[in-house]
Chain A
Amino acid sequence: MTGEHPALALRGLAKRFDGTIAVAGVDLDVPAGSFYGLLGPNGAGKTTTLSMAVGLLRPDAGSAWVLGQDVWRDPVAAKRLLGVMPDGVRLFDRLTGAELLAYHGLLRGMDPAVVDQRAAELLDVLALGDAGRTLVVDYSAGMKKKIGLACALLHGPRVLVLDEPFEAVDPVSAALIRDILTRYAAGGGTVIFSSHVMEVVERLCSHVAILAQGTIKRVGTIADVRGGRSLEQVFVEVVGGRTATGDELSWLSR
Chain B
Amino acid sequence: MALPVNVAAAPAGPARTVSARHFVRLKLRVMGNNFRGQGWRVALFIGGALVGLWFAASGFFLFAAPGLADNGRYAVLIAAAGGGLLVLGWLLLPLVFFGVDETLDPARFALLPLPRRTLVIGLFAAALVSVPVLAMSVAVLGLVLTAWALGGWSAGLVAVVGVLAGLLLCVAASRAVTSAFASMLRSRRVRDLAAVLLAVAAALLGPLQIVGLAALRETDWTRLTGAATVLGWTPFGAPWTVGIDVAQGRVWAAPLKLLITVAAIVALLAWWSRSLESAMVGTASTGKAPAQRGATGGAVAQLFPRAAGWVRRDRFGALVAREARYWWRDARRRANLITIAVVGIFVPVLINVTGGDFAAEDGAGFTAAVGDSSPVVVTVSMLFVGVLASVTLANQFGFDGNAYAANVVAGVPGRVELRARMTAFSLYVLPMLAVVAVVLSALLGRPGWIGLMLGSLAATYGAGLAVNSFVSVLAAYSLPETSNPFAMNSGAGVAKGLLTLLSMIITTVIGVPMVVAAALLGNAWLWLALPVGAAYGLGAALLGAYLAGDVLDRRQPELLATVTPRR
Chain A residues with CB under 8 Å of chain B are 18-19, 54-58, 75-76, 79-80, 82, 84, 86, 88-96, 98-99, 101-109, 112, 115-117, 119-120, 123, 130-135, 138, 140, 151, 251-254
Contacts and interface: CB of A to CB of B under 8 A. Distances in A.
A249 B405 CA distance: 42
A99 B303 contact: yes
B409 A56 contact: yes
A252 B2 CA distance: 11
B527 to A, nearest CB: 42
A115 B289 contact: no
Given A95-B303, A119-B299, 18 more contacts: A86-B409, A90-B401, A91-B406, A92-B403, A94-B329, A96-B295, A98-B299, A98-B303, A106-B313, A106-B317, A107-B407, A132-B295, A135-B289, A138-B286, A138-B289, A140-B288, A151-B406, A254-B4
Nearest to A78: B411
Nearest to B411: A79
Contacts of A57: 557, 560-561
B480 to A, nearest CB: 13
Interface stretch (B196-204, B320-328, B389-397, B431-439): B320-328
13 contacts: A55-B411, A55-B557, A93-B403, A96-B295, A98-B302, A103-B322, A104-B406, A107-B407, A109-B314, A109-B315, A115-B299, A120-B298, A132-B292
B300 A132 contact: no
Contacts of A102: 298-300, 302-303, 318
A107 B298 contact: no
Interface in B380-438: 400-403, 405-412
Contact of B300 (A54, A115, A151, A254): A115
A107 B412 contact: yes
A251 B294 contact: no
A253 B6 contact: yes
Given A94-B330, A109-B315, A252-B6, A76 B561 contact: no
Contacts of A115: 298-300
A18 B403 CA distance: 24
Contacts of B504: none
B408 A55 contact: yes
B293 interface: yes
Nearest to B9: A251
Given A107-B315, A132-B295, A89 B405 contact: yes
B126 interface: no
Counting chain B residues whose Cβ lies within 8 A of the other chain, the interface size class is 35 or more
Contact of A135 (B300, B329, B400, B406): B329
A86 B36 CA distance: 28
Contact of B318 (A18, A75, A88, A106): A106
B190 to A, nearest CB: 16
B405 A56 contact: yes
A232 to B, nearest CB: 22
Contacts of B407: 107
Interface string B456-468: 0000000000000
A138 B285 CA distance: 11
Contacts of B313: 106, 112
Contact of A106 (B288, B315, B409, B558): B315
Nearest to B286: A138
Contacts of A80: 411
B3 interface: yes
B423 to A, nearest CB: 15
Closest 6 CB pairs of A and B: A116-B298, A106-B318, A119-B299, A133-B292, A102-B299, A102-B303
B37 interface: yes
Contacts of A91: 403, 406
Describe B's contact surface by its main secondary structure. Answer: helix
Contacts of B15: none
Contacts of A54: 409
Nearest to A250: B6
B299 A120 contact: yes
B1 interface: no
A85 B489 CA distance: 28
B293 A103 contact: no
B318 A103 contact: yes
A38 B347 CA distance: 58
A48 to B, nearest CB: 11
Contacts of B326: 92, 94
Contacts of B3: 252-253
B293 A133 contact: yes
Contact of A99 (B293, B302, B317): B302
Contacts of B560: 56-57
B69 interface: no
Contacts of A253: 3-4, 6
B364 interface: no
Contacts of B317: 106
With a 10 A CB-CB cut-off, give which of B294, B303, B560 has the most chain A CB atoms. B303
A105 B299 CA distance: 10
Contacts of B111: none
Nearest to B553: A75
A102 to B, nearest CB: 4
B360 interface: no
A140 B285 CA distance: 11
A102 B292 CA distance: 19
Contacts of A92: 322, 326, 400, 403, 406
Contacts of A106: 300, 303, 313-315, 317-318
B291 interface: yes
A103 to B, nearest CB: 5
Contacts of B293: 132-133
A115 B318 CA distance: 12
B319 interface: yes
B295 A98 contact: yes
Contacts of A135: 289, 329
Contact of A108 (B319, B322, B408, B410): B410
A119 B557 contact: no
A60 to B, nearest CB: 12
A210 to B, nearest CB: 25
Contacts of B558: 58
A133 B322 contact: no
Nearest to A104: B406
A54 B557 CA distance: 11
A130 B288 CA distance: 14
B5 interface: yes
Contact of A89 (B6, B292, B403): B403
Contacts of A105: 299-300, 318
A76 to B, nearest CB: 5
A103 B4 contact: no
B409 A55 contact: yes
With a 10 A CB-CB cut-off, give which of B37, B322, B400 has the most chain A CB atoms. B322
Given A92-B400, A120-B298, A99 B325 contact: yes
Given A107-B412, A253-B6, A134 B405 contact: no
